[in-house]
């Protein structure tokens, strides 16, 4: 029994020792399973399951688990969160190559290879056979145009068995970056031959063809890559780019939508969709509304990328949200966008806001259409740059003198020449300037004889040169073509008054059949179509004078002169005649009222002073 007891005791002790040893291995085994399962879930695209497993490992203090969480966020393209996890992993284990690769990869994908480079270098120092880190290191060196260093970094990978095709692709990218397309093509072809069923090698050849501008050859390579891995959103996005380049926009949109639906934070897909819809809007405006949500999302995802703000600003402008559009374009400009299209649209927005100086500056960086050039000429005119405006108009006319734009340019140029003549102080030079305007407007009328403005300004130019017959012919034609524009009648009447004052319409010795009597009828016609403008005030004044004051019909004159001063209360002549009419009609209070209004404007006006004095003397005598 004693021997048996000792045997049992020895057996028991052995069992306890074995169980203790097994128990000590259980956490490590569980950890290994969590990491392995997390990696498998990530590879299968099951990111929620992967992050749960990696978090479980990280909670036990394992840096690989924390780096695994970073990999999930990297897959989701949330680089800020990914970087945070990789940096935590580095603090947990400074010698974990995966953590350094991850931090570098976040920077690389944000196009910051200067920051990424030391992280990749540290990763390959810690792990001399780390393909992802070696490839990323080579890519950053390529982007930084350190081509020889990139080749040196990538060459070892050619001896790493199954990784050889990926390194051939990377070397091809180096050659493509330094424009050695022949050598690049050789590398990409070798890569695909070495791994015909690897989506990466097919994508690389597609990238090569797209770089050379051969979208039709790139598409089959991308389609094969997608067929080999239909869940890879990068491959789908690359296929979308090739389809868009080949102008197969419907198919491209389908691929981009697939990417955006599976990962709304995939910024490239949002920008691509916004860009395609924006460009489609130029042919079919309804697409501008479809572009907007994608561009707004992109500006949230990439707030410092000027491309998104530039496209969004232009899109909002065409959606008639011009202030918001202009603000977005200005932000894009601050961020460095130099798109000619953006500056052209910005010019239009600034013209709408009547910011002439800003518009003039913007269009210098844009690519103006013909209609933009017409606006530019008007902007120069508003700024007083008549020579610049004239230059733009002449360029449009020289381009196609018979086009509608040329007709508009001729009209605006003729009007500008008329205004320039008006402002010319020297009488000889002024007459010459009016003659130039007449020549331009005559050319405009020859292209289109149905434009009232051309006749109107040519008629005014003839009037200033005292060429009354020609002036009347043009101004009357302007009335015929625009019978609702009161100013056309007004200047016919003024010209008649100046041309043959007092001449009966049928007196041959006058040399014409027009007279002041005819002018009176035109003034009446004028107020029938325009009773509120300052020209109408003058017309009422002239009708009152010719039809009532000259006939001493004071009450009739008062009715019309009251209308005149209601429109233009600062016209001294109307106020004087109204005061005199009230005085002659026996209404001394009203007469004094209007004489006082004249003297408020001009204290030394002689007629008002004399009229008021006369009223005062009369009042004294009556006392």
Structure confidence by residue, pLDDT tens digits, 409-447: 889 889 989 999 999 999 999 999 999 999 999 999 998
Query: What's the rounded mean pLDDT across residues 492-504?
Result: 79
Q: pLDDT digit string (tens) for 561-578?
A: 999 999 999 999 999 999
CB 345, CB 372: distance < 8 Å = no
User: At which residue do the structure tokens 């036990």 appear?
Assistant: 60
Quote the CA–CA distance of 107 and 130 in Å, as a whole number.
Answer: 18
Query: What's the rounded mean pLDDT across residues 7-20?
Result: 50
Is 24's pLDDT higher than 80? no
Q: Output the pLDDT for position 34.
A: 82
Query: What's the rounded mean pLDDT across residues 324-332?
Result: 96
Q: Output the pLDDT for position 30.
A: 53
Q: pLDDT digit string (tens) for 105-135?
A: 999 998 899 999 999 999 999 999 999 999 9
pTM to 2 decimal places = 0.63
Is 467's pLDDT higher than 80? yes
Quote the CA–CA distance of 363 and 350 in Å, as a whole number.
Answer: 10
Q: Pick 8 or 296 by higher pLDDT.
A: 296
CATH homologous superfamily of 531-623 equals: Tetratricopeptide repeat domain (1.25.40.10)
Q: pLDDT digit string (tens) for 268-308?
A: 999 999 999 999 998 899 999 999 999 999 999 999 999 99
Using CA atoms, how far residue 168 sits from 152, 173, 244, in Å, is 13, 9, 27
Q: Output the pLDDT for position 530.
A: 94
**What long-range pairs does 516-524 form, CB within 8 A, spacing at least 24?**
516/546, 519/492, 519/493, 519/494, 519/546, 520/493, 520/546, 520/547, 522/489, 522/492, 522/493, 522/496, 523/489, 523/490, 523/493
Quote the CA–CA distance of 480 and 448 in Å, as a whole number.
Answer: 15
Query: What's the rounded mean pLDDT across residues 230-239?
Result: 91
In this structure, the number of other CB atoms found within 10 A of the CB of residue 249 comes to: 15
248 closest CA partner among 219, 275, 205, 271: 219
- Specify the DSSP element, H or E, that contains 539: helix 534-544
Tokens representing 556? Answer: 């009739």
Quote the CA–CA distance of 576 and 296 in Å, as a whole number.
Answer: 65
Tokens representing 56? Answer: 């479980």
Q: Output the pLDDT for position 181.
A: 86
Q: Output the pLDDT for position 126.
A: 95
Q: pLDDT digit string (tens) for 537-556?
A: 999 999 999 999 999 999 99
CB 451, CB 445: distance < 8 Å = yes
Q: Output the pLDDT for position 348.
A: 93
Q: Output the pLDDT for position 143.
A: 94
Is 405's pLDDT higher than 90? no
User: Confidence band (pLDDT; 50, 70, 90) for 504?
Assistant: low
User: At which residue do the structure tokens 């196009």 appear?
Assistant: 111
Query: What's the rounded mean pLDDT across residues 326-331?
Result: 96
Using CA atoms, how far residue 272 sits from 325, 328, 329, in Å, is 19, 18, 18
- Specify the DSSP element, H or E, that contains 594: helix 588-601
Query: What's the rounded mean pLDDT across residues 588-617?
Result: 91
Angle, vertex CA 604, rays to CA 601 and CA 609, nearest 5 = 95
């Amino acid at each position: 029994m004693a021997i048996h007891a000792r045997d049992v005791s020895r057996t028991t002790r052995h069992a306890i020792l074995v169980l203790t040893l097994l128990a000590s291995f259980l956490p490590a085994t569980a950890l290994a399973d969590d990491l392995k399962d997390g990696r498998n879930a990530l590879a299968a695209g099951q990111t929620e399951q992967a992050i749960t497993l990696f978090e479980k490992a990280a909670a036990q203090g394992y840096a690989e688990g924390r780096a695994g969480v970073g990999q999930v966020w990297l897959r989701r393209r949330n680089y800020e969160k990914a970087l945070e996890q990789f940096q935590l992993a580095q603090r947990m284990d400074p010698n974990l190559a995966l953590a350094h690769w991850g931090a570098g990869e976040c920077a690389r994908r944000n196009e910051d290879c200067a920051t990424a480079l030391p992280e990749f270098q540290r990763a390959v120092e810690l792990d001399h056979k780390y393909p992802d880190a070696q490839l990323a290191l080579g890519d950053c060196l390529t982007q930084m145009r350190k081509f020889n260093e990139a080749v040196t970094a990538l060459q070892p990978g050619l001896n790493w068995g199954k990784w050889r095709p990926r390194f051939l692709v990377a070397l091809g990218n180096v050659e493509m970056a330094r424009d050695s397309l022949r050598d690049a093509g050789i590398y990409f072809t070798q890569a695909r031959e070495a791994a015909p069923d690897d989506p990466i090698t097919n994508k690389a050849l597609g990238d090569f063809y797209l770089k050379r501008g051969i979208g039709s050859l790139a598409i089959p390579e991308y389609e094969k890559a997608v067929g080999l891995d239909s869940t890879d959103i990068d491959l789908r996005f690359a296929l979308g780019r090739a389809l868009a380049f080949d102008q197969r926009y419907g198919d491209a949109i389908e691929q981009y939508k697939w990417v955006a639906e599976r990962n709304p934070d995939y910024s490239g897909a949002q920008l691509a969709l916004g860009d395609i819809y924006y460009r489609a809007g130029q042919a079919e405006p309804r697409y501008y509304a479809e572009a907007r949500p994608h561009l707004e999302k992109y500006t949230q995802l990439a707030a410092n990328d000027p491309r998104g703000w530039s496209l969004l600003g232009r899109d909002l402008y065409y959606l008639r949200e011009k202030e918001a559009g202009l603000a977005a374009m200005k932000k894009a400009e601050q961020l460095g966008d130099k798109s000619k299209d953006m500056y052209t649209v910005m010019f239009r927005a600034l013209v709408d806001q009547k910011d002439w100086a800003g518009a003039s500056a913007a269009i210098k960086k844009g690519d103006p259409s013909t209609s933009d050039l017409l606006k530019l000429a008007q902007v120069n005119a508003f700024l007083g740059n008549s020579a610049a405006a004239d230059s733009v108009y002449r360029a449009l006319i020289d381009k196609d003198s018979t086009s509608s734009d040329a007709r508009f340019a001729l009209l605006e140029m003729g009007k500008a020449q008329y205004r320039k003549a008006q402002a010319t102080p020297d009488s000889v030079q002024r007459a010459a300037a009016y003659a130039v305007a007449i020549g331009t407007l005559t050319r405009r009328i020859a292209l289109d004889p149905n434009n009232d403005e051309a006749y109107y300004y040519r008629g005014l130019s003839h009037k200033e040169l005292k060429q009354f017959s020609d002036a009347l012919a043009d101004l009357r034609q302007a009335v015929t073509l625009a019978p609702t524009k009161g100013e056309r009648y007004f200047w016919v009447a003024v010209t008649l008054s100046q041309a043959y004052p007092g001449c009966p319409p049928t007196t041959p010795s006058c040399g014409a059949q027009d007279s002041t009597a005819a002018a009176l009828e035109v003034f009446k016609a004028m107020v029938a179509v325009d009773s509120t403008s300052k020209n109408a005030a003058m017309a009422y004044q002239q009708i009152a004078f010719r039809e009532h004051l000259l006939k001493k019909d004071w009450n009739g004159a008062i009715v019309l002169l009251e209308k005149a001063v209601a429109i233009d209360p600062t016209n001294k002549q109307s106020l004087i005649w109204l005061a005199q009419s009230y005085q002659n009609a026996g209404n001394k209070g009203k007469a004094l009222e209007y004489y006082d209004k004249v003297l408020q404007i001009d204290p030394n006006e002689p007629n008002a002073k004399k009229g008021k004095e006369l009223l005062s003397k009369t009042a004294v005598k009556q006392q």
